[in-house]
């Protein structure tokens, strides 16, 4: 099989790519969504949700061990047979179209809602897709290097914001802890599980790692760092806003407006904005790349570059179609989206792994009988 992607990335670059892929939209929306159900135990929710992330990285790694040079689009045909495999591929293509469209929409809604009130949404979608399509066109190495440059800065600056808020935090908001047992925090983790399940994207990168043996380790580290930042964000929102957290759309943005140190450091929301746009650029690019690569493999095209722009154009349309407004989008993301995302991002890979292991066992039994 002639590999579509000739580039190679390191496992560390993959970990950097996955970090904003989960966190970019997560950090903005997570505190409010979890606070609605988990109340003051919202800091526990990301910890429960991260188990899905660890599971998915493990499943992707096991599948990669069985089919080291192939992505989910390719080995689903080998595992299930040609036609069922093609159907799974088709579901994944449509799924990634839809989800990437939603991410583009979240980006547009956030920028127009907080900063560029007069700019048409279409302009925002188009500019982001143009920049992302350049990175996707450059291939995996370009995306890996972008992440390597951008992500460490994002993570450090985010910690700095947290440190600057320390003096305003009120630990009384933590209590009463586990007032209604573990139920509320577990319920609050359902939506987060769907975010963590996006780690299935590592299955698109494992075949192209220079150090495949380290893939699992760095995948797990990436899940852990996402969990750490989500817990940190939830703690920060809880201690700053208390019960108000659930009613704010973007708690982190409001928190950044809070910061003022000795009169000269104030209004840091523009920094949060810059951080967030950079993170979302990587998130959209990673999803966009998985969609382009997957579509090319599904259609058996020898080069994915010719379909980058047409798919980009369709993503702008999906961004427009995905929801009529922010309220509908938020409602979808905090309710039915979790089951939709989990059924595809956890259901399909786990199903594929089970079938693949059964087939392998049968072959070994056949081999031992004939041997």
What does the H/E/C string look like for 154-202? Answer: HHHHHHHHHHHHHHHCCHHHHCCCCCCCCHHHHHHHHHHHHHHHHHHHH
pLDDT of residue 265: 66
1 assigned to some structural domain:
no
4 assigned to some structural domain:
no
Q: Which of 269, 337, 341, 317 is nearest to 96 (CA)?
A: 341
152 assigned to some structural domain:
yes
Q: What is the CATH number of the domain that holds 59?
A: 1.20.1740.10
CA distance 249 to 255: 12
87 assigned to some structural domain:
yes
Q: What is the pTM of this model?
A: 0.90
CB-based contacts of 320, cutoff 8 Å, min separation 6: 105, 121, 122, 125
371 assigned to some structural domain:
no
Which phi and psi angles does 261 have, rounded to 5°? -120, 115
**Domain count of the chain?**
1
CA distance 190 to 187: 6
Q: Where are the alpha helices (DSSP H) in 206-268?
A: 215-241, 251-258
pLDDT of residue 1: 38
Q: Which of 30-34, 227-231, 273-277 has the highest mean pLDDT?
A: 227-231
Asked if the model's pLDDT at residue 234 lies above 90, the reply is: no
pLDDT of residue 34: 82
25 assigned to some structural domain:
yes
**Interval 311-335: pLDDT, tens:** 999 999 998 888 888 788 878 877 7
Question: Which sign does the torsion angle of CA 23, 26, 30, 31 carry?
Answer: positive
122 assigned to some structural domain:
yes
Q: What mean pLDDT comes out for the span 199-204? A: 92
Asked if the model's pLDDT at residue 175 lies above 70, the reply is: yes
Domain boundaries, position 174: 11-360
- With both helix axes pointing from N to C terminus, report the angle between 72-80 and 269-298 in degrees, rounded to the nearest 10: 40
6 assigned to some structural domain:
no
């Amino acid at each position: 099989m002639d590999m579509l992607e000739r580039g190679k990335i390191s496992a560390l670059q993959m970990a950097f790519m996955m970090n904003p892929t989960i966190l970019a939209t997560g950090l903005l929306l997570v505190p409010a969504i979890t606070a609605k159900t988990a109340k003051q135990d919202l800091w526990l929710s990301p910890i429960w949700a991260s188990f899905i992330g660890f599971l998915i990285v493990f499943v992707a790694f096991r599948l990669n061990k069985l089919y080291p040079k192939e992505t989910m689009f390719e080995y689903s045909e080998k595992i299930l047979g040609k036609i069922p495999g093609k159907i799974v591929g088709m579901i994944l293509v449509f799924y990634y179209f839809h989800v990437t469209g939603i991410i583009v929409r979240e980006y547009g809604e956030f920028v127009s809602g907080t900063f560029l009130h007069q700019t048409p949404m279409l302009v925002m979608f188009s500019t982001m897709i143009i920049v992302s399509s350049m990175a996707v066109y450059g291939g995996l190495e370009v995306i890996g290097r972008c992440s390597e440059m951008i992500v460490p800065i994002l993570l450090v600056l985010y910690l700095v914001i947290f440190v600057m808020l320390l003096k305003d935090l009120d630990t009384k908001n933590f209590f009463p802890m586990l007032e209604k047992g573990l139920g509320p925090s577990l319920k609050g983790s359902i939506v987060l599980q769907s975010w963590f399940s996006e780690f299935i994207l590592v299955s698109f990168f494992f075949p192209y790692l220079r150090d495949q043996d380290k893939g699992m380790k760095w995948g797990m580290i990436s899940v852990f760092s996402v969990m750490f930042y989500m817990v940190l964000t939830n703690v920060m929102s809880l201690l700053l806003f208390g019960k108000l957290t659930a009613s704010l759309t973007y708690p982190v943005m409001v928190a950044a407006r809070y910061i003022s140190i000795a009169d000269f450091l104030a209004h840091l929301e523009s920094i949060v904005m810059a951080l967030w746009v950079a993170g979302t650029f990587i998130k959209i690019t990673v999803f966009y790349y998985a969609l382009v690569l997957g579509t090319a493999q599904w259609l058996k095209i020898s080069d994915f570059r010719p379909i980058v722009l047409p798919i980009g154009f369709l993503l702008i349309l999906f961004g427009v179609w995905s929801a009529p407004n922010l309220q509908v989008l938020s409602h979808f993301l905090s309710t039915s989206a979790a089951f939709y995302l989990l059924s595809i991002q956890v259901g399909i890979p786990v199903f594929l792994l089970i079938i693949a292991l059964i087939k392998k066992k049968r072959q070994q039994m056949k081999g031992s009988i004939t041997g």
